[in-house]
């Protein structure tokens, strides 16, 4: 009699805290595009960088490329991105809301593609930051 027993190692359970592959890819791409859009024209020929070099509250615009780059790095490191994506997606809308309260609705007539690209990425991040929640 040959009593050979075979043992199989069960597959490791997926960690609920890690992002899905799609979440990670979206976070990396949107974070990188958000950081890059900061250097594109936001108003006429002024980039977000030009505006952030200004004085006062405009320095808060630095939060956009910093959060975008950090989110991309978090995603590349394969760390959970849900909370970071929600925070990063909120930053451009907070900036927009603050600027609208200071300047009025005419702001939309002078915004260039860099600002709109940043807002689109922010919206995507907000929409997908809840993906995979149980």
Report the distance separating Cα 46 and Cα 126, nearest Å: 26
Q: Using an 8 Å Cβ cutoff, are 24 and 75 in contact?
A: yes
Element holding 10 (H helix, E strand): none
Domain boundaries, the chain: 21-128
* Whole-prediction pTM: 0.77
Structure tokens at 59: 């320095």
Structure tokens at 111: 């915004």
Report the distance separating Cα 90 and Cα 77, nearest Å: 22
What is the per-residue pLDDT across 53-99, written as a single tens digit (0 to 9) for each? 887 778 888 999 999 999 999 989 888 888 999 999 999 999 889 88
Residue with tokens 């200004």: 54
Give 9-18's long-range contacts (Cβ < 8 A, gap of 24+): 16/134, 17/80, 18/78, 18/79, 18/80
**DSSP 8-state symbol, 18:** S
Q: Chain-wide mean pLDDT for the chain?
A: 82
With cut-offs at 50, 70 and 90, classify the pLDDT of residue 17.
very low
Q: How many CB atoms lie within 10 A of CB 78?
A: 12
Q: Is the pLDDT of residue 134 over 70?
A: no
Which pLDDT score is estimated for 79? 86
- Which residues, 6+ apart, have CB-to-CB distance to 41 below 8 Å? 47, 112, 113, 114
């Amino acid at each position: 009699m040959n009593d050979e027993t075979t043992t199989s190692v069960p597959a490791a359970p997926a960690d609920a805290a890690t992002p899905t592959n799609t979440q990670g890819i979206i976070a990396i791409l949107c974070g990188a595009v958000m950081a890059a859009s900061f250097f594109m024209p936001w108003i006429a020929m002024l980039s977000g960088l030009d505006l952030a070099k200004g004085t006062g509250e405009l320095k808060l615009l630095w939060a956009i490329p910093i959060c975008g780059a950090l989110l991309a790095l978090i995603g590349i490191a394969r760390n959970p991105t849900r909370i970071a994506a929600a925070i990063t997606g909120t930053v451009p809308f907070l900036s927009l809301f603050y600027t609208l309260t200071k300047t009025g609705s005419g702001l939309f007539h002078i915004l260039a593609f860099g600002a709109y690209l940043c807002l689109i990425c922010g919206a995507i991040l907000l929409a997908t930051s809840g993906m995979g929640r149980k």
